[in-house]
Amino acid sequence: MLAAIIAIVANNNNGADMSRETAFQKIKNHRAQQFGLPMTADWTAIETIDMHTAGEPLRVILAGFPELPGNDVLSRRRSAREQYDDLRKALMWEPRGHRDMYGVILVPPNDDGADFGAIFLHNEGYSTMCGHAVIALAKLAVEMGWVEPCPDDETSVVIDAPCGRIRAFARTDSRGRVFSTRFLCVPSFVLARDQTIALPGLGTIRYDIAYGGAFYAYVDARQLPFSLAPENSEEIIRAGRAIKAAVIERGPPIEHPAEPDLSFLYGTIFMDMSQFPESTTEPASDSRIHSGNVCVFANGELDRSPTGSGVSGRLALHHAQGRLTENQTLHVKSITGGVFTGKISGVLDYCGHAAVIPEISGTAHITGQHRFYIDPADPLKNGFLLG
């Protein structure tokens, strides 16, 4: 009797295994067909590679986005905003993205002096510069073979951003993998120093405004009633949004000296200045200065990285304050613990402003590749945000 029961159970198990194998074979067949789906001709398919730099996401849009009319990156950026903003929302917002998603559309360069152009996307619209994206794009350009690698040195990757031309340099290991990228940002300068603004719950906040490819309000975090710890992220976001809104409403006008499209306040940067030299007249004696950085930008996005354009503006600000010299390196840690290093590559006069050329370094990683579909019958096809 026992032998008969064992035989029946074995037969049943074999049948179940065969059933699972048949279902799994269908899954494997779908894989072999490159995830073929029963889509119709009116669906939109967009292909991306996803990355992160110090935890800050980057969705690199490679194919499927309509060709953007224009003669340069800035004009193509205007075309994206005016004609295809629904696609930005579809790719950045839920259900394909989230409130803190960030993206980039690759476009032709302004001229033959660059490898390609980049239009940066976020939850609110289109930014003018993105350091974490530049670091990631340089890695991708080398590892995908878009540029000719230089095996014995750094490989140059030249990117036309809305704020201007960015020169990046990717370092590779013996396998051809990029392990570090540095870039030279656009001329960065201080727009306004020692400003104050009163806010409910925060009191009087002292801030500076500087430009590093985008304009930020810079705030010493010691003025806040909370620390820049991850568990305080919601308080950080609320404070960052409040300060940005107040500065836009009551602060000095934000005007770029050469390009009106760059003339807006992008975000608020809270700086951990606890290890900075207190004197504004004597530079620090150590060649390395360590600091923290938390940036709240766009519509309340909290940057997971140290913010490359923000560090660029900090270099200009601290140089103007006499707290950073050209032979010092600023090590900036983000809320995730990721680090960018920044140093001043040169100084110059830029349209009447005392400016610096920042050099920023960091590391990026690839997290996946995607083919997103937009079904015109989907009532949420253009995405949504909660809150």
Query: What are the catalytic residues?
Result: 130
CB half-sphere exposure, 328, CA atoms < 13 A: 21
> Is the four-CA dihedral 296, 301, 304, 308 of positive or negative sign?
negative
Q: Which residue, 165, 93, 96, 155, is CA-closest to 128? A: 165
Q: Which residue, 120, 117, 132, is CA-closest to 310? A: 132
Can you tell me the distance from the alpha carbon of 294 to that of 292, in angstroms, rounded to the nearest whole number?
Answer: 7
What are the residues facing 287 on neighbouring strands?
none
Q: Which residue, 273, 314, 74, is CA-closest to 188? A: 314
Please report where in the chains the tokens 């950073």 appear, as a residue. 324
Token pair belonging to 368: 């996946």
Q: CA triplet 91, 93, 96: central angle to 5 degrees?
A: 55
Contact 205, 219 (CB under 8 A): yes
* Three-state SS at 311: helix
- Residue type at 325? T
| 206-218 per-residue burial string, b: 16 or more CB within 10 A, e: under 16 | ebbbbbbbbbbbb
